[in-house]
Amino acid sequence: MQIFLQPVATKINYDILNSLRNDISKEFKNVQIVITPSIEPYIKTIFQFSLDRSRNQLNSTKLLQWFVDNVRIETHSKMLVIVDADAYSAGLNFVFGEAFSNGLIAVVYLPRLKQEFYGLEPNEQLFYERVVKECVHELGHACGLTHCNKARCVMHFSNSLHDTDFKKQSFCDTCTSQRIASVKLMD
């Protein structure tokens, strides 16, 4: 299995993406993680397709669908799209991320993971920890995992940043076993 990290941004900090690749690989051992170049020429098209102008947010499900329709991904691979824009999904005012369960694509949205979104002083370390947790969480969904009832497990549902900050960056033992089994099925 391979995981492709797909940034959707005009400016990319590859040092952060390399760190993110290393931290994700702690939970997805023996999985090759590849950082792909930004798809800058398509950003405007992606945003036009998925933007809900009345909310000034991206419709996350539409964004995921754009990638399903326009990007070829091998069956034994996953793509994690990282977007620096706010988004929502059906029935939710906002989402930190979303994935099609047992799908090929997951997405994480950065703005609400930043302290400054809430008028607070920036905290790069806290922001980065949140990004790692959300990336691992959404990739877990893409591998078929559901939300876990253990509040410290990375697969626990985050209804707020407090939930995200409380949980660990790792799967609980039960979710680890399920994730390993799902990866073996893909090989």
* 116 has catalytic annotation: no
Percent of the chain with pLDDT over 70: 94
Q: Domain for residue 102, yes or no?
A: yes
pLDDT (mean) for 79-101? 92
CATH number, domain containing residue 86: 3.40.390.10
At 149-165, the pLDDT tens digits run 999 999 999 989 999 99
Helix, strand counts (H, E) of the chain: 6, 8
Into how many domains does the chain fold? 1
Q: Is the pLDDT of residue 11 over 60?
A: yes
Q: Domain for residue 23, yes or no?
A: yes
27, 98, 134, 138: which is the annotated catalytic residue? 138
**For position 89, what pLDDT does the model report?**
94
- Domain membership of residue 111 as a residue range: 2-133
Q: Domain for residue 69, yes or no?
A: yes
Mean per-residue pLDDT over the chain, rounded: 90
Beta strands in 31-177 (DSSP E): 32-35, 51-52, 57-59, 77-83, 87-88, 97-99, 105-109
User: Is this prediction's pTM over 0.85?
Assistant: yes
